[in-house]
Amino acid sequence: MKKKFIKVLCSVALSCMICTSYLAKVSAAPINNTKIKSNEINTSVDSRNKSERMPSTNSEPLGLNAKNTNSSKYSFSDLNKLSNKEILDLTSKIKWNDISDLFKYNDDSYAFYSNRERVQALIDGLYEKASTYTSTDDKGIDTLVEILRSGFYLGFYNDSLKYLNDRSFQDKCIPAMLAIENNKNFKLGEKGQDTVINALGKLIGNASCNAEVVNKTVPILEQYYREMNTYPKDKLKGDAVYNFMKEINYDISQYSYDNHIQDGKNTPWTGKIDSFINAISKFANIPDVTENNGWIINNGIYYTSKLSMYHSNPSIPHSVIDNCLKLLPAYSEQFYTAVERIKEDFNSKDSKGNAIDIDKLLEDGKKHYLPKTYTFDNGKMIIKAGDKVEESKIQRLYWASKEVKSQFHRIIGNDKPLEGGNADDVLTMVIYNSPKEYKLNRTLYGYSVDNGGIYIEGIGTFFTYERIPEESIYSLEELFRHEFTHYLQGRYLVPGLFNEGDFYKGNSGRITWFEEGSAEFFAGSTRTSVLPRKSMVGGLSENPKERFSADKILHSKYDDGWEFYKYGYAFSDYMYNNNKKLFSDLVSTMKNNDVKGYENLIENASKDPNVNKSYQDYMEKLVDNYNNYTIPLVSDDYMKKYSNKSLNEIKSDIESTMNLANSQITKESSQYFDTYTLKTNYTLDSNKGEIDNWNCMNNKVNESLEKLNKLGWGGYKTVTAYFSNPKVNSHNQVGYNIVFHGLLAHNKNFNEAPIIKLDFPKEANTDEKIKFSSEGSTDDGKIVSYSWDFGDNTTSSEKNPIHIYKNPGTYTVKLTITDDKGLKAEKTSSITINKVLKGNIVSEKEDNNDFTTANPVYLKDLVNGSVSSSDNKDTFYFTVTKPSDITITVEKINKDKSEFNWLLFNDEDKSNYIAFPNKELGNQLSNTVKIDKPGKYYLVIYKTLGEKADYRFNIEGDISASPKDDTDKDELVISEKEDNNSFDKANRVCKNQSVIATLDTNDPRDTYYFDALTAGNIEVTMENTDNNSNEFNWLAYSSDNTNNYIGYATKREGNKIIGNFKVDKPGRYYIVAYKTSSNKINYKLNIKGDIDNVPKNDEIYEKESNDSFETANKIMLNATVLGNLNGKDVRDIYSFDIKEAKDLDIKLNNLNNLGLAWNLYKESDLTNYIAYGSKLGNTIAGNCHVTSGKYYLYVYKYSGNNGNYSLIIK
């Protein structure tokens, strides 16, 4: 039985179905570096690969403006200082991942969990929260559950906390689980509900459950079954349902295992959870499989099968699985999931006891998905492939294997199998058409598909799939090269089978870094050397501090994630180029099965500062030269027909290149061609030491290949060669075995690929007509189609198309040509599209070195300027008129080595930049910035290198087109209304309003309020309209705290006092104006910022009391309603009539950061709501289809004190 606690915070569905062989070597294309749809829910796995690096700008943004982000974390050390109540309160305010050492065993976590009273208090706290969570507020249950799960996890692995692994203690969570289920909000709906349901499922898996807990989850399963088509891509709801299936099954299975129960009888659940199993089985029999529901059908099949033994009548769920074979599409993943379960759980029999020929079904599946078989080298290499894997690619894989083999044997120094009679005497490759079809490998062959490819040494076979760039950063050939290296490692380098030999005993990850890192390294093999792989170098961090140290990589294992593949590659490449002695010594210990010697080498190298420094320096060199690298793949020379040449002629030519004699040449037959292998010996004149000898032989063999290239026969461009098995004779001379391999002749099965000639300019401009030509392309038959991909999501089937690029950038253009026999050839090349800056020429005006003297910029301006040693910064401003994308492009004009950069600032925060260039194309630095809030923005251009940099720039997007567009809307002047001397009597001030008012001895204070729509900067101006010396002032307050002011006037400009302050959230704020002298003062007050607009004529204010359906306010569609909720008035209800069927769009705008929600009811059923709103920022929005009748909108608050809202129904 697998261990119960696996530290996986985001499970992959069906992970428990994956059967991983103990003889498996996982490939270099891990799932997290591919974009493969998860079984769990239909979303793409996030990829952080850097297959294409973003060009860096010429300098870092100004350090003094660096953003200061608050990344406060808690640790168990912090939690240990809190009381139980404080911890429970904290869970409502933080996320579980704010606790840095959750699930980690250390002194602080031990101190936390060893306190039984504390853990019990947390469980009791969960019980209390369980009855109070709402549809929109999980009350911190998710965080609290993760804290408890962390304890149970640590209790499983650490004896010092083993009381937490006692089922009787874990059962203490059951009352809290039941309380969660008994809460009226226990149903799929809003985020708060879905989060709690998810947490419950996870808690069951780490704690325990009983039959009552299980059966109370049934309504959730049934609700999802009914409604899943309404939220097919809602991951949170999908996870919630999946967690119930998985974790309940897990707990029941664990109990059965611990109590040695194999037949499902006599458990606390036996015969008591039929409704739960029946609910799951409904998912198994969904007949229409789609991209969105395939995962839930798979899980329905799996868990119906696994839980069937606990049913009161096991034949009922068994018959459900039988029915899957009739109901589900033949050959589908779901069909074979059912086949797998019948085989594993029902001994290959149906529910009536009849035998099912599972082997035939599996063979049928293999024939369906892998109909093509190709043989090479007299049957020593076999490739089974899908019908969409191109035959030319199959041939290229064969030639790739020869390139990898030649470099592997050169470096390893051995080409004699370590053991004879193993399965790898014949190498078999299985290649599916796609990642989707590869999923079937789990059932058809029984091996994991949670990877990009896998080699099974015990059967001499590896499995992978064809892929497109959107599905993986690695090509099929790259993956093949990696897996083929694993085959070579097992056959020629590491004694014993994978995970069985001495090198795996006591430490199964001892050589993991070497096996995977060197497999990535040898994947870069060519005919003459091993080259850096761009796809690998791109995965190295650009930040040296984030890169692996030598010590870290030399001890990396599979448990450490996938990053070590790239750093293991870099270390192998470093050894090959800069430390061959270490490479050779490591290889020697493996070949000699010297585990102790290997460990000594690793220990010494990991502690050697010189090794680490050299490794770090080498990685820096790789990263710096990233753009100079390619991805080594076999050349087109392998795919061409050549005139015939006899074996004797080839033998003579090869011998002449190195003065060889007594060589033996043999012919091998493959499906498309015949090849030859020539073997001989070569002795060096002198023994100069291991490394010098190797270098000498490497040069001689490469010189031989170069001489063959010059002999004129094209077939010599397919020759690979290696030297191995060095031996020193009695004269201290070193002798090597040498092997040459190459193409002899193609046979009638071979169809030569079309030869493509690609012709177009390397550079062009946006909006320019560019001619692309394929003239000169040829084929040995007839070309029947042309397919152009211009790299900008546009294509053409013309022979010589014309194309226009709209956006600047470097694009990869691909032409695919197909001949009359269906053989395709493709060729790619890049084109750089430059942006021509256009506009009305405007010159900068000095002095514009700071924000106060910034030059204005308008739409269609093309601004020319310069920065220099004496004038190193220019500042410009522009006004964004509406939320939109703004593109800023600054181009250097002069051709010298001077450099500059730019930063973008918001007028409301001139201390922190909001953007800088993220694209560098030629002499242009640009970025497209999403601006959410209209207003003034500043562009700062500054010099970073050289004496002077001349530039020009333009700004595209929704910005002011002329100075008149920058002026505010006509200001509306209003008068104050007395009495407004207190907060509760404050006058309202809106956007573009100025208030005229008076202060005197009888009225020394006026109070105003405004509603801020977003967090941001507020500017208040108070003007003495009499222009005399009378003194006055103002203070700003938040409605959350009217005892302490948050803003005040900070500067005086003539008869005005002005101040700026920040509001950190939307809501209501107050301005208190007061006089400080004895005289009467007439003044004008103005408030600027993102505040509420003046109410429109069609706005409606709620009328109390409207707290029940009977007293509901009647409203009209498309009219804005303004309302207020407070401690005594927690709900407002509105009614409206619908005359005909239509779709409603309901938006509730939260003006004061209350916890707001709404439900919609139809008059015919006031018990069950028909729609609800989802929180989107400060808006609670939703839509629903309604028919004619009367409806009620129920608005309520669940947190906060006093606040306002607006709503509109359209």
pLDDT digit string (tens) for 34-63? Answer: 222 222 222 222 333 322 222 222 233 332
Whether residue 1200 has pLDDT greater than 80: no
**Helix or strand or coil: residue 431?**
strand
> How far apart are the C-alpha atoms of 945 and 57, rounded to whole Å?
13
User: What is the average pLDDT value for the chain, to the nearest integer?
Assistant: 88
SS3 per residue for 236-289: HHHHHHHHHHHHHHHHHHHHHHHCCCCCCCCCCCCCCCHHHHHHHHHHHCCCCC
Given 481, 503, 528, the domain boundary residue is: 481
Report the interhelical angle of 141-157 vs 84-91 (nearest 10°): 120
Other Cβ atoms within 10 Å of 345 Cβ, number: 18
- Do 1058 and 1139 lie in a common domain? no
Given 789, 805, 834, the domain boundary residue is: 834
pLDDT for the residue 679: 98
Q: Which of 247, 466, 483, 516 is catalytic?
A: 483
> How far apart are the C-alpha atoms of 132 and 128, rounded to whole Å?
7
pLDDT for the residue 966: 58
**Which of residues 658 and 470 earns the better pLDDT score?**
658
**Nearest residue to 304 (alpha-carbon basis) of 329, 325, 276:** 276
Say which CATH number the domain at 437 has: 3.40.30.160
**Helix or strand or coil: residue 1031?**
coil
pLDDT digit string (tens) for 56-108? Answer: 222 333 322 333 333 447 899 999 999 999 999 999 988 998 999 999 999 99
Whether residue 7 has pLDDT greater than 70: no
Give the pLDDT band (50/70/90) at residue 1098: low
Do strands 855-856 and 873-880 pair parallel, antiparallel, or not at all (unpaired)?
Answer: parallel
Quick check: is 212 catalytic? no
Whether residue 352 has pLDDT greater than 60: yes
- Do 777 and 741 lie in a common domain? no
> How far apart are the C-alpha atoms of 139 and 147, rounded to whole Å?
14
Structure tokens that stand for 204 in this block: 């069951």
pLDDT digit string (tens) for 324-344? Answer: 999 999 999 999 999 999 999
Tell me the mean pLDDT in the region 761-780: 93
pLDDT for the residue 422: 84
> How far apart are the C-alpha atoms of 1116 and 673, rounded to whole Å?
80
Q: Cα 1020 vs. chain centroid, distance in angstroms?
A: 44
pLDDT digit string (tens) for 855-875? Answer: 999 999 999 999 998 899 999
- Do 959 and 856 lie in a common domain? yes
pLDDT digit string (tens) for 575-612? Answer: 999 999 999 999 999 999 999 999 999 999 999 999 99
- Nearest 5°: phi and psi at 1086? -135, 140
C-beta separation of 309 from 264 below 8 A = yes
Tell me the mean pLDDT in the region 1182-1195: 90
pLDDT digit string (tens) for 612-648? Answer: 999 999 999 999 999 999 999 999 999 998 999 999 9
Say which CATH number the domain at 656 has: 3.30.980.50
**Is residue 410 in some structural domain?**
no
**Is residue 961 in some structural domain?**
yes
pLDDT for the residue 21: 31
- Do 1119 and 1052 lie in a common domain? no
- Do 845 and 934 lie in a common domain? yes
Whether residue 31 has pLDDT greater than 70: no
Name the helix (H) or strand (E) containing 806. none
pLDDT for the residue 1202: 77
**Is residue 108 in some structural domain?**
no
pLDDT digit string (tens) for 781-839? Answer: 899 999 999 999 999 999 999 999 998 889 999 999 999 888 888 899 999 998 899 99
pLDDT for the residue 3: 27
**Is residue 273 in some structural domain?**
no
Q: Give the CA dihedral 1022, 1027, 1029, 1030, nearest 10 degrees.
A: -50
Structure tokens that stand for 922 in this block: 């030629």
**Is residue 152 in some structural domain?**
no
pLDDT for the residue 1097: 52
Domain count along the chain: 6
Whether residue 963 has pLDDT greater than 80: no
> How far apart are the C-alpha atoms of 79 and 66, rounded to whole Å?
31
Q: Cα 8 vs. chain centroid, distance in angstroms?
A: 16
- Do 844 and 830 lie in a common domain? no
- Do 852 and 931 lie in a common domain? yes
Tell me the mean pLDDT in the region 913-929: 91
> How far apart are the C-alpha atoms of 288 and 300, rounded to whole Å?
14
Close Cβ partners of 506 (under 8 Å, ≥ 6 residues apart): none
- Do 961 and 844 lie in a common domain? yes
Cα–Cα distances (Å) from 1022 to 711, 1001, 1080, 1097, in that order, read 92, 19, 15, 28
**Is residue 338 in some structural domain?**
no
- Do 1114 and 1184 lie in a common domain? yes
**Is residue 139 in some structural domain?**
no
Say which CATH number the domain at 1174 has: 2.60.120.380
Whether residue 879 has pLDDT greater than 70: yes
| Least reliable range by pLDDT among 206-210, 231-235, 713-717 | 231-235
- Do 959 and 1029 lie in a common domain? no
pLDDT digit string (tens) for 741-769? Answer: 999 999 888 888 888 999 999 999 999 99
| Least reliable range by pLDDT among 275-284, 663-672, 923-932 | 923-932
Say which CATH number the domain at 779 has: 2.60.40.10
pLDDT for the residue 1149: 87
Assessment of whether the complete model's pTM goes beyond 0.85? no
pLDDT for the residue 1177: 75
User: For residue 814, what are the domain limits?
Assistant: 763-834
Other Cβ atoms within 10 Å of 930 Cβ, number: 10
pLDDT digit string (tens) for 1017-1075? Answer: 899 999 988 777 778 899 999 988 899 999 999 888 878 899 999 998 888 899 999 98
Given 965, 998, 1023, the domain boundary residue is: 965
- Do 899 and 953 lie in a common domain? yes
**Is residue 91 in some structural domain?**
no
Instruction: Please give the span between the terminal C-alpha atoms of the chain, in angstroms, as a whole number.
Output: 58
**Which of residues 1109 and 575 earns the better pLDDT score?**
575
pLDDT digit string (tens) for 150-168? Answer: 999 999 999 999 999 999 9
Tell me the mean pLDDT in the region 899-916: 91
- Do 450 and 365 lie in a common domain? yes
Q: Please, what's the b/e burial string for 16-50 (b: 16 or more CB within 10 A of its CB; e: otherwise)? A: bbeeebebbbbbbbbbbbbbbbbbbbbeeeeeebb
